[in-house]
Amino acid sequence: MIKLKNISVSVDKKSILKDITFDLKPGQIIALMGPNGSGKSTIALTLAGHPNYVITSGQIILDKNDITKFSPDKRANLGIFLSNQSPVAIPGLNIKSLLWQIFKKFHPDKKLSLSEFRSWLSLEAENLGIKSELLDRNLNEGFSGGERKKMEVLQMLVSSPKYLILDEIDSGLDVDALKIISLRIQKLAQDLNSAILIITHSAKILDYLKPNQVLVLDKGKIKTTGDSSLIQKIESLGFNS
Amino acid sequence: MTKTSYQKSPYEYGFSTPEISVFKTKKGISKDVVKIISGIKNESDKMLNFRLQAYQYFIDQSLPTWGPNLSDINFDDIFYYLKPSEKEGHSWDEVPTEIKNTYDKLGIPEAEKQYLGGVKAQYESEVIYGSLLKKLSDQGVIFCGMDEALKKYPEIVWQYFGKIVPSDDNKFASLNSAVWSGGSFIYIPKNVHVDLPLQTYFRINSQKMGQFERTLIIADEGSFVHYIEGCTAPIYSTDSLHAAVVEVFVKKNARVRYSTIQNWSTNVYNLVTKRAQIDEDGIMEWVDGNLGSKITMKYPSNILAGRGAHAEVLSIAVASGIQHLDAGAKAIHLAPNTTSRIVSKSISLNGGRSSYRGLVYISKGATNARSKVVCDALILDKKSRSDTYPVNKNSESSAFIEHEATVSKIGEDQLFYLMSRGFSQNEAESMIVNGFVEPIVKELPMEYSLELNRLINLQMEGSVA
């Protein structure tokens, strides 16, 4: 379980989040909603350990570890996975080789040969609607928004995370792709009993990944906490209701 | 021969593999040293005179002051010639054990087995071992040491030797012309395609040793060859000097690719003059990886002499710590429809400094000539530095020169991205750097691309420690 305890965060000495407290438990799905600039992505990047997001007070506890000061790689190795809102391109970094390296890092005990891994990968990619030639290219170089999001999902599948942080994974995806990807993530989370934190502006993805809890953020603070009925209310009345 | 004697110094032990020279000249350069070198090699008066003339040019010229600082080179404290064993071996068994051990570490026999191509290895000044697949010699391909070529094929050698890099070209070309020893000679007959790369390794194994090899490649009409050279030296506390001259003649419709992995230790001054002349519809390609040396100055030059000739230079420089790598390329367009493309990538880390220095010249009458220059620099930390010095001169209104330059720091966002995938900072940086050089690495044969990646990763590890 991840516990955020009274977290405040600054970027460039400007305070963004104030006194955020919530728990993310295995098997749970939390939807994080709120208007633009309310601090949703800041929560995602803070959880993943981005160095520009400075925790000025509070603690992040993962099981029994205080990970408040952990580097991004240490957090990843404890099972935190961030699907980025705008995944960067890394020129010259071959996708297949990246995925294989991630696989080896997270599954050191699995006896899977490179060719077995590649067959598994091709199958997963096909199921996600990823063109096979895309896997031979370099990470996100010249990729569309939707293709980039699918690459995030592939990396997620390979690293088998315990905590999935999905920062607007639905943006850039068409309705069919959204459904396929949501269902695949749902299956992954079920198989691993993972927790999911979804940041979204659209209720559509929440039809597939049904949240147990909804947090509404406003001006860096949690304004409202509720169950999934809150989604309907926001959809019809907006955040200012 | 004269009164000046050479020192006989068998089995003088150095830091790394024992030096097993049979004799070497005394330190420093003089007319007498030049004469001794020529005498030991039983050269004709013609070559002796060429050398003595070049020696005079060397004395008359001053050090270039427009680039890296060369004022610390002490020309009097260098051995200019060292003969490691009595003769050139023709099979691996004949090669002395000490030298074999060094080459084993370099993986030369393996490389030979894998490619079944020709291998020449230069240890200090002399070519030690050369083999050439019979098939190639049956096709009329000549691949031998430069000294051997001068004896066996003097007419061909003199037709080309010093013709595109004249002995007064620059101070270091003059020095090379005066004291040159070893290097490769390659002649590819008309329409012969050598499918497997021909390879050479150069190694400096003695302190204060200069290496002055001379390479001459002639690709006759419609032929193709890929030549690969690798350079290494063990680490000594004193500086060494490598001043090579490379001349490549690409005839009509021929294509030559020349690849270099330069990994001299960081006390070697690497000051090399490389030049190609490309005739009608010929193609010259340089793939140049510069990882080692204290100072490198190297600008492979292309004289596009025939209509439709094309030149391509892909270079990588990785400068770390005290290294200053000043690399680049030149394209001299003298004929219509000639094209050139120069892609230079440099990485500076741990206080290292890399520079791109290039010239694109398009003469009047070189109608529709096209040149594209792309310089990408990656700087890993605040201590390191990168500069570009491009010069474009276009005298032809229908011609076109394009220049792109980018300087980037390793993106914080890229680093965070890969670290959030579980990779350490060091691993993430290596992945980004290897990605950055990938467009050039992929042009090399598998063995060499792995080697280049490995060397880059070693330098990156060093930077963290």
CA distance A55 to A47: 10
Q: Is A11 on the interface with B (CB under 8 A)?
A: no
3-state helix, strand, coil in chain A (%, to 5): 40, 25, 35
Q: Is A75 on the interface with B (CB under 8 A)?
A: yes
- Say if CB B437 and CB B456 are below 8 A apart: yes
* Residue that the structure tokens 């020279």 belong to: B21
pLDDT at B128: 44
End position of a domain, from candidates B283, B298, B313? B298
pLDDT at B267: 84
End position of a domain, from candidates B240, B269, B298? B298
Residues of B with CB under 8 A from a CB of A: 411-414, 416-425, 428, 431-432, 434-439
pLDDT at B13: 25
pLDDT at B145: 83
In a domain, B66, yes or no: yes
CA distance B187 to B159: 12
Mean pLDDT, rounded, for B192-206: 73
User: How do residues B352-384 score in pLDDT, each as one tens digit?
Assistant: 999 999 999 999 999 999 999 999 999 988 899
Start-to-end CA distance of chain A, whole Å, equals 32
Task: Return the axis-axis angle of helices A95-106 and A145-159, rounded to nearest 10°.
Answer: 30
pLDDT at B144: 83
Q: Is A200 on the interface with B (CB under 8 A)?
A: no
3-state helix, strand, coil in chain B (%, to 5): 25, 35, 35
User: DSSP for B251-263?
Assistant: -TT-EEEEEEEEE
Quote the number of domains for chain B.
Answer: 2
CA distance A39 to A4: 15
Mean pLDDT, rounded, for B113-124: 45
Read off the pTM: 0.77
Is the pLDDT confidence value at B110 over 90?
Answer: no
Strongest mean pLDDT among B10-24, B50-64, B424-438: B50-64
| Residue A71 with chain B: CB contacts under 8 Å | 419, 425
End position of a domain, from candidates B230, B263, B298? B298
pLDDT at B81: 86
Number of H helices, E strands in chain B: 11, 24
What domain range is B441 assigned to?
421-465
User: How do residues A55-88 score in pLDDT, each as one tens digit?
Assistant: 999 999 999 999 999 999 999 999 999 999 999 9
In a domain, B392, yes or no: no
In a domain, B60, yes or no: yes
pLDDT class of B197 with cuts at 50, 70, 90: confident
More confident: B447 or B63: B63
Is the pLDDT confidence value at B235 over 70?
Answer: no
What CATH homologous superfamily does A2-237 map to?
A: P-loop containing nucleotide triphosphate hydrolases (3.40.50.300)
Is the pLDDT confidence value at B317 over 80?
Answer: yes
Every domain of chain A and the residues it spans: 2-237
User: Tokens at residue B97, please?
Assistant: 């054990």
Q: Give A232 to chain B, closest Cα distance, Å.
A: 33
In a domain, B327, yes or no: no
pLDDT class of A124 with cuts at 50, 70, 90: very high
Q: What percent of chain A has pLDDT over 90?
A: 87
CB distance A88–B417 less than 8 Å? yes
Mutation site for B-interface testing, chosen from A12, A84, A88, A153 by largest number of B Cβ within 10 Å: A88
pLDDT at B14: 28
Q: DSSP assignment, residue B364?
A: T
- Say if CB B33 and CB B80 are below 8 A apart: yes
Q: Is A84 on the interface with B (CB under 8 A)?
A: yes
Min mean pLDDT across B203-207, B209-213, B262-266, B427-431 is at: B203-207
CA distance B44 to B41: 9
| Residue B425 with chain A: CB contacts under 8 Å | 71, 73
Same domain, B54 and B199: yes
CB distance A72–B432 less than 8 Å? no
User: Is the torsion defined by CA of B23, B27, B30, B34 positive or negative?
Assistant: positive
Is the pLDDT confidence value at B208 over 80?
Answer: no
In a domain, B364, yes or no: no
| Among the listed residues B233, B280, B283, B288, the one whose alpha carbon sits nearest the alpha carbon of residue B255 | B283
Min mean pLDDT across A119-123, A220-224, B154-158, B452-456 is at: B452-456
pLDDT at B96: 54
CA distance B409 to B381: 8
CB atoms within 10 A of CB A143: 18
Same domain, B426 and B293: no
3-state secondary structure of A16: strand
Is the pLDDT confidence value at B401 over 60?
Answer: yes
Min mean pLDDT across A86-100, A205-219, B137-151 is at: B137-151
In a domain, B27, yes or no: yes
In a domain, B406, yes or no: no
3-state secondary structure of B126: strand
Is the pLDDT confidence value at B188 over 90?
Answer: yes
